Amino acid sequence: MAGLWEAWLGGDGSEIETMAILTTEANGDVAHIHDRMPVILDRCDYGRWLDCRLGSATGVLDLLRPLPEGRITTIAVNPKLGDPATEGPDLHQPPNPTLF
């Protein structure tokens, strides 16, 4: 996935590391779940994405696009994953079946 990372000094002088995963509009495989999806890079584009020598995003803007359809599979996950206080091996279990 395409992301940005930076380390900077906070007001108290401590080093703070921050990161963000970039998103784009959802492709047809994901649109039924959400209108956004992560920017997923092809392996052949890793080097270009990670090359910061230009100091500009102009050489990589074309990479900020939805993944072509048919390249990702969506599956249901345990709804407990949305609760940051929840832990345990049962989170790997598929969600309970519903009537819908």
Angle 42-22-11 from CA coordinates, rounded to 5°: 135
User: Which amino acid is located at 85 in the chain?
Assistant: A
Using one digit for the tens of pLDDT, what is the confidence trace for 61-88? 999 999 999 999 888 888 888 888 888 8
CB 37 within 8 A of CB 26: yes
SS3 of residue 8 by DSSP: strand
pTM: 0.74
How does DSSP classify residue 48? H
Using one digit for the tens of pLDDT, what is the confidence trace for 10-55? 999 999 999 999 999 999 999 999 999 999 999 999 999 999 888 7
Which residues touch 69 (CB under 8 Å, ≥6 apart)? 27, 28, 29
